[in-house]
């Protein structure tokens, strides 16, 4: 093999790998995992346990943020904070 052939082969393999990574990211496919024999079907989009855990955690955080927003926007809480600030002075 000449240097040019070797370089072209390496560039083609790298380009193919980058294309697979891009497709994985854009369409949520699992082509790289499929080539590594980690999954049977690269186009299976069933939510995994890890994804479900993340979704549950995000839901909990959103609920906590809503509670904090109601506390912060509550006029009584704001008045209490101003009183505390005056006591410190």
Q: Is 79 left (phi over 0), alpha (psi -120 to 50) or beta?
A: alpha
What is the C-alpha separation between 55 and 64, in angstroms, rounded?
Answer: 14
pTM of the predicted structure, to 2 decimals: 0.46
Statement to judge: residues 51 and 37 lie in one domain? no
Domain that holds residue 19: 1-42
CA distance 27 to 1: 37
Q: Are residues 60 and 86 in the same domain?
A: yes
Whether the pLDDT of residue 16 is over 70: the answer is yes
- Indicate whether 75 and 89 sit together in one domain: yes
What are 33-49's pLDDT values in tens digits?
A: 888 888 777 877 666 67
Dump pLDDT digits (tens) for 20-77: 999 888 888 888 888 888 877 787 766 667 778 888 999 999 999 998 888 778 778 7
């Amino acid at each position: 093999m000449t240097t040019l052939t070797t370089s072209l082969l390496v560039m083609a393999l790298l380009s193919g790998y980058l294309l697979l990574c891009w497709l994985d990211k854009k369409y949520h496919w699992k082509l790289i995992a499929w080539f590594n024999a980690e999954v049977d079907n690269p186009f299976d989009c069933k939510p995994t346990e890890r994804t479900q855990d993340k979704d549950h955690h995000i839901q909990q955080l959103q609920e906590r943020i809503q509670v904090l927003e109601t506390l912060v926007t509550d006029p009584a809480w704001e008045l209490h904070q101003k009183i505390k600030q005056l006591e410190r002075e």
